[in-house]
Chain A
């Protein structure tokens, strides 16, 4: 698989990448969506909420399991992908593009140093 430029991953299988206006976009990895199976429901914080690296930012329910979504980076939510409320399987179909979850204004960009680039993440998931 080709490497994803600019995407950084945590061990909770979530990614973030730079977005417009010094924001970061957050989602779950292709490996995560594949393991979860058909996603049935995603609960995300509202715009204005703060999220903290390593802590649950929301919940994802697939037909198989319910899991917390662990924030890859701290910050303040500026935009939520509302389309996921009605079509959560977009995350299955396009985890790195249309299935993005949040756009945030980052708190501490040095937190990015703790994340893995795509090559390291690919090695991590084996």
Chain B
């Protein structure tokens, strides 16, 4: 069992590991505290959610009349004030992390760590620290191939856009994944003319197709131009515009571009090879189910492992790593059951398998879905777009996945995560009374719909052993 732990990186994996290890009585040194909270807090989750909160207020004002509110004068967004609010929120949360680290007695070292050997790291080329366990949590950075001349201004990554002094009139986003789609809706709300170029045929290609379909539709409603099945082969930049081409054909042009085609593990300057740590083909550190590298005293957690680049996954991995170095046998994480949330408008959330993934595993799949617009609460709040889709095993009713798009979906997905985590059935959701009036009623009705008897939708009789997939809906009036 480890007695002294060196944690490299202070993001959602690193600082959480440091707090947990100290609580368990380990002597802990956390290196990299100049970036407390990591990408999530400094440049990612929290800044963008703060900005989305501004966008939500703006949109509510624009729709005030729908709620019986008359406004006098005009409503406009003020970008510098929104940035100031982001700084304020981030500052508050950084203060919270630093306070917790101090209160627990974690030794905090700002600076970049470089491995000297399997037990020792050097910080900023000066001080050396050692431990009998080391946890690498150095995160990830945006992927930006040389094809895209990233300068942080005209051609930017997600690390840059929140620092822009002004907003562009138009923006082309390369990529159609989580980061790309969140920024597409954000900048659209702020009045920017947005185009999205995606290599696959749909936005959020890792989500269930039913979810992508609705997000694509919501994009069209907002006049966000989505260009599917397109790969930028050449990007031209001059003083006035960024132009994206494929095979000589202009795909889109805009005042600025955001390159959001993914993230890659960050091991810059780490020199983990000096300790003998094995890396994978994508530059990720290879780990076992306990987040242990090929060197038994060295662990890795978070984006550096490239398993699921989400903050809460990083924290969960950190918990597993620390528990294991304490001599416990923690339950390895089931990556597919970790909830995934995307803060588009409306929000997207999912956990478990998509319908396609479940079918590819050869399972006898049955799906049920329910539209938000059939809920009283959705109408009361004026947010009727969206649905919940439940994927179940038709043979034994085991819940395989839940996929939702709609207002507050990110808050609602955890019901599904709990059932998935314990290998429960869709019947358990059906038998659980859901409060009225809530949006969570959509989960209940979607679960009932797996069997064809959702209370608030037309009755569809499904054969008991061969439940029909109801992914296609017809005009059945």
Contacts and interface: CB of A to CB of B under 8 A. Distances in A.
Contact of A70 (B373, B387, B475): B475
Given A64-B373, A64-B374, A66-B373, A32 B477 contact: yes
A43 B472 CA distance: 16
A68 B477 contact: no
Interface in B419-477: 472-477
Given A64-B373, A65-B373, A65-B374, A12 B221 contact: no
Interface string B374-395: 1000010000110100000000
B135 to A, nearest CB: 47
A33 B94 CA distance: 54
Q: Which bracket fits the contact residues of B?
A: 10 to 19
Nearest to A43: B217
Q: Which of B374, B472, B476 has the most CB of A within 10 A?
A: B476
Nearest to B384: A63
A28 B475 CA distance: 10
A102 interface: no
B475 A13 contact: yes
B220 interface: yes
Interface in A22-43: 28, 31-32, 35-36, 40-41, 43
Contacts, number: 46
B384 A14 contact: no
B198 interface: no
A73 interface: no
A12 B385 CA distance: 23
Contacts of B385: 61
B255 to A, nearest CB: 26
Contacts of B374: 64-65
A104 interface: no
Contacts of A56: 472
Contacts of A36: 477
A59 interface: yes
A94 interface: no
Nearest to A125: B477
Interface string B213-224: 000010011000
Nearest to A14: B475
A13 B475 CA distance: 7
B217 A13 contact: no
B357 to A, nearest CB: 24
B477 A35 contact: yes
**For chain A, what secondary structure do more than half of its interface residues adopt (helix, strand, loop), or is it mixed?**
strand
B303 interface: no
B220 A68 contact: no
Given A43-B217, A65-B374, A60 B477 contact: no
Q: Which bracket fits the contact residues of A?
A: 20 to 34
A43 B387 CA distance: 18
A43 B220 CA distance: 9
Contacts of B387: 66
B371 A66 contact: yes
Given A43-B217, A43-B220, A60 B373 contact: no
B475 A31 contact: no
Contact of B217 (A31, A59, A64, A68): A59
B477 A13 contact: yes
A32 to B, nearest CB: 5
Nearest to A54: B474
A66 B476 CA distance: 10
Contacts of B473: 66-68
A57 B22 CA distance: 60
B217 A65 contact: no
A26 to B, nearest CB: 13
A45 B387 CA distance: 23
B454 to A, nearest CB: 13
Nearest to A33: B477
Nearest to B214: A66
Nearest to A10: B475
A91 interface: no
Contacts of A43: 217, 220
A68 B474 contact: yes
A67 B475 CA distance: 5
B371 A70 contact: no
B220 A63 contact: no
Interface in A67-118: 67-70
A67 B373 contact: no
A90 to B, nearest CB: 17
A38 to B, nearest CB: 11
A14 B475 CA distance: 9
A102 B333 CA distance: 52
Given A65-B371, A65-B373, A60 B475 contact: yes
Contacts of A14: 475
A103 B220 CA distance: 22
Contact of B475 (A12, A41, A63, A64): A12
B370 to A, nearest CB: 11
6 contacts: A13-B477, A14-B475, A40-B384, A60-B475, A63-B379, A68-B474
Given A12-B474, A31-B477, 7 more contacts: A32-B477, A43-B217, A61-B385, A62-B373, A66-B387, A67-B477, A70-B475
